[in-house]
Amino acid sequence: MAIERGLRKAGSAIEIDIAYDGQQALSHLQKLAQHDALPPIIITLDLNMPRMSGLEFLAILRADACLRRLPVFVFGTSDAKADVQAAYALNAVGYVVKDSSPASLAAAFGMLATFAEVCELPR
């Protein structure tokens, strides 16, 4: 919800779908991909999710031929080198520490909104 609020404050009109855990997100994405209905998507991923960690989700996503190309921005509370490196090893586009200053988070949400507007996203 913090990401949704941040994007709205940044003036973004991005349509947001929320999954409450990694299994729900994967199921939703796989259903869309099966019906060739995969719209342009940017995934914002929390590392600390119930039932499946963000890194587990990212590993499964990258192993799926239909979903591996989707851009993923990780938003985590950890700035541990191992977490950051693991996310980038799984081809995260960016890693943002949620506990950063409000100005840093606002800049991250603005960057995400700009990314969505100016980049051609995979379909």
Domain layout of the chain by residue ranges? 2-12+40-116
Q: What is the rounded distance in angstroms from the CA atom of residue 106 to the CA atom of residue 41?
A: 21
The correct answer on CATH 3.40.50.300 for the domain covering 2-12+40-116 is no
- pLDDT tops 70 at residue 33: yes
pLDDT tens track for 54-110: 999 999 999 999 899 999 999 888 889 999 999 999 999 999 987 767 788 788 888
Q: What is the rounded distance in angstroms from the CA atom of residue 94 to the CA atom of residue 73?
A: 5
Higher pLDDT, 10 or 71: 71
pLDDT of residue 16: 80
pLDDT of residue 114: 86
Residue 87 tokens read as: 């996310």
Residue 49 tokens read as: 């999710």
- pLDDT tops 80 at residue 18: yes
In the chain, what percentage of residues exceed pLDDT 70?
A: 94
pLDDT of residue 94: 94
pLDDT of residue 1: 67
Higher pLDDT, 73 or 113: 73
Burial of 92 (0-12, 13-18, 19+ CB in 10 A): buried
Paired residues of 6 in beta bridges = none
Higher pLDDT, 111 or 105: 111
The count of C-alpha atoms lying within 13 angstroms of the C-alpha of 90, restricted to the half-sphere facing its C-beta, is 25
- pLDDT tops 90 at residue 10: no
pLDDT of residue 100: 67
Instruction: Name the phi and psi angles at 43, rounded to 5.
Output: -100, 130
